[in-house]
Amino acid sequence: MKIGVPIEIKNNENRVGMTPSGVFELTKRNHNVYIQKNAGFNSGFLDEDYIEAGATILDTIEEVYSVADMIVKVKEPIEPEYKLIKADQIVFTYFHFASSEVLTNAMIESKSVCIAYETVEDADGSLPLLIPMSEVAGRMSVQQGAKYLEKPIMGRGVLLGGIPGVPPAKVLILGAGVVGVQAARMASGLGASVHVLDINMKALRHVSDVMPNNVISEFSSEYNIRKHIVDSDLIIGGVLIKGAKAPKLITRDMLKEMRPGTVMVDVAVDQGGCFETTKPTTHQDPTYIIDEVVHYSVANMPGAVPYTSTMGLTNVTLPYVIKLANDGWEKACDNSAALAKGLNIVKGEIVYKEIAEAFDMEMA
Ligand SMILES: NC(=O)c1ccc[n+]([C@@H]2O[C@H](COP(=O)([O-])OP(=O)(O)OC[C@H]3O[C@@H](n4cnc5c(N)ncnc54)[C@H](O)[C@@H]3O)[C@@H](O)[C@H]2O)c1
């Protein structure tokens, strides 16, 4: 199969859909891989690395889309790419169709086969192609929180780990899923005093089993949240109710109860945020202050660490890319129930219920 990897043209997207190691695995199986010139540069991969692994470098995005049977990328196609996508071409990437009717209509019109990373689903309901990005965001949330706790950037002026003779900072983490556990791991490693709240007892048991003694698991309730916010230095929001907007666990009135310079990192911002005062921010201007509380709510946190994020993402996408390349999309989806869940739009027809419902459209 001919596989094309274009440069990501969405604003501030520095990841790339395939690493040289992925190219090596595909060319070894007699597939042809076409990488757009400089596509891997911001993730630390040079054209020479791709050539050495067996890829052909193409100068323009038009050439990549025109030659490829399958496009492998990171973010959803944006307007200039719509017309480049061909009938029957497989497009394997994050789409998030339910949030854009324009994109949905463009892909229906293209008659391509759209397989969305975010809906590939294992038998236990987990989403394997989303997990690494939550891992990145969870770990980063503590790094960012520690930075914004510094006085010059309006934080309380507290060192997360304290020092001998001075107590560490208190970190409150809402949600003990992928984000929450990774955040707890980082915060505890730095020596903070960590409280993790969740409503899922299985998740809390896991935290209690695997985390060191400076991490305390606790049931999530408004009462407990109100109790903790008054003396927390850093609050991290990592809750998710699948398919729904995040619940507003910290309401506007609660900010008055916090100490000035408290930092709140809302990782769940992409699902509407779990703090009432959350609004999406960017890496250029990541924070804002309300009632002397610092808010950090960057919607694409992994974009700031493209090297790690690209490696994390491609580690999990590559096995599916290989299946699609070897077998074609129909056989590959017949053989893998997880991959079949990724089918969203096929040759002009919506095949994923939630997308049809989102726009009141017909399903195939
Ligand atoms: N901002 C970013 O760049 C970025 C990156 C990756 C993920 N995310 C987002 O982070 C959020 C969390 O992702 P995840 O992978 O950790 O999800 P997850 O499903 O692994 O974990 C979510 C946890 O929230 C818990 N929860 C639900 N309601 C709760 C409540 N009332 N109180 C406490 N806990 C509650 C669930 O029981 C679950 O354990 C998602 O919205 C995801 O989209 C954002």
> Which atom of ligand 1 has the smallest separation from the CA of 303?
3
Q: Are residues 146 and 286 in the same domain?
A: yes
Ligand 1, atom 18, lies closest to the CA of 177
The answer to whether the annotation marks 338 as part of a ligand binding site is: no
Q: What is the CA(323)–ligand 1 centre distance, in A?
A: 29
Q: What is the mean pLDDT of residues 143-170?
A: 97
pLDDT of residue 146: 98
Determine which one of 47, 49, 96, 327 is catalytic: 96
CB of 198 closer than 6 A to ligand 1? yes
Q: Which amino acid is present at 10?
A: K
Residue 125 domain-assigned? no
Q: Are residues 171 and 72 in the same domain?
A: no
Is pLDDT at 242 greater than 80 in this prediction?
Answer: no
Contact 238, 141 (CB under 8 A): yes
Q: Give percent of the chain with pLDDT exceeding 70.
A: 99
Q: What is the mean pLDDT of residues 257-270?
A: 96
Give the tokens for residue 364.
């195939």
CB of 127 closer than 6 A to ligand 1? no
Residue 364 domain-assigned? no
Least confident stretch, 11-15, 311-315, 322-326? 11-15
Q: Are residues 311 and 297 in the same domain?
A: no
Q: Are residues 164 and 310 in the same domain?
A: no
Q: Are residues 141 and 270 in the same domain?
A: yes
Is pLDDT at 32 greater than 70 in this prediction?
Answer: yes
CB of 171 closer than 6 A to ligand 1? no
Dihedral angle sign, alpha carbons of residues 42, 47, 52, 57: positive
pLDDT of residue 213: 96
Question: Is 270 annotated in the active site?
Answer: yes
Question: Is 283 annotated in the active site?
Answer: no
Contact 232, 258 (CB under 8 A): yes
pLDDT band with cut points at 50, 70 and 90 for residue 153: confident
pLDDT of residue 290: 98
The answer to whether the annotation marks 187 as part of a ligand binding site is: no
Residue 10 domain-assigned? yes
Q: Are residues 75 and 94 in the same domain?
A: yes
Residue 339 domain-assigned? yes
> Which atom of ligand 1 has the smallest separation from the CA of 249?
31
CB of 168 closer than 6 A to ligand 1? no
- Please state the domain count of the chain: 2
Q: Are residues 173 and 72 in the same domain?
A: no
Residue 354 domain-assigned? yes
Q: Which of 161, 177, 155, 119 is nearest to 340 (CA)?
A: 119
CB of 225 closer than 6 A to ligand 1? no
The answer to whether the annotation marks 240 as part of a ligand binding site is: yes
Residue 180 domain-assigned? yes
C-alpha span between 342 and 257 (Å, rounded)? 44
Q: What is the mean pLDDT of residues 207-227?
A: 98
Determine which one of 31, 69, 270, 295 is catalytic: 270
Contact 15, 8 (CB under 8 A): yes
- Average pLDDT of the chain to the nearest whole number: 96
> Which atom of ligand 1 has the smallest separation from the CA of 137?
5
Q: Are residues 111 and 189 in the same domain?
A: no
Q: Are residues 40 and 188 in the same domain?
A: no
Q: Are residues 190 and 95 in the same domain?
A: no
pLDDT tens, residue by residue, 271-285 = 889 999 999 999 999
Structural domain for 210, as ranges? 131-304
The answer to whether the annotation marks 363 as part of a ligand binding site is: no
pLDDT band with cut points at 50, 70 and 90 for residue 241: confident
Indicate the pTM of the whole model.
0.90
Residue 363 domain-assigned? no
pLDDT tens, residue by residue, 42-75 = 999 999 999 999 999 999 999 999 999 999 999 9
Is pLDDT at 244 greater than 80 in this prediction?
Answer: no
Ligand 1, atom 41, lies closest to the CA of 268
Q: What is the CA(215)–ligand 1 centre distance, in A?
A: 18
Residue 311 domain-assigned? yes
> Which atom of ligand 1 has the smallest separation from the CA of 200?
37
Q: Which of 304, 303, 284, 345 is nearest to 107 (CA)?
A: 345
For residue 80, how many other CB atoms are within 10 A of its CB? Answer: 9
pLDDT tens, residue by residue, 350-360 = 999 989 998 99
- Which residue, of 268, 289, 304, is where some domain finishes? 304
Q: Are residues 296 and 311 in the same domain?
A: no
Specify the CATH number for the domain of residue 278.
Answer: 3.40.50.720
C-alpha span between 84 and 24 (Å, rounded)? 26
CB of 220 closer than 6 A to ligand 1? yes
Q: Which of 241, 240, 243, 239 is nearest to 352 (CA)?
A: 243
Q: Are residues 99 and 159 in the same domain?
A: no
The answer to whether the annotation marks 300 as part of a ligand binding site is: yes
- Which residue, of 282, 304, 326, is where some domain finishes? 304
Is pLDDT at 243 greater than 70 in this prediction?
Answer: no
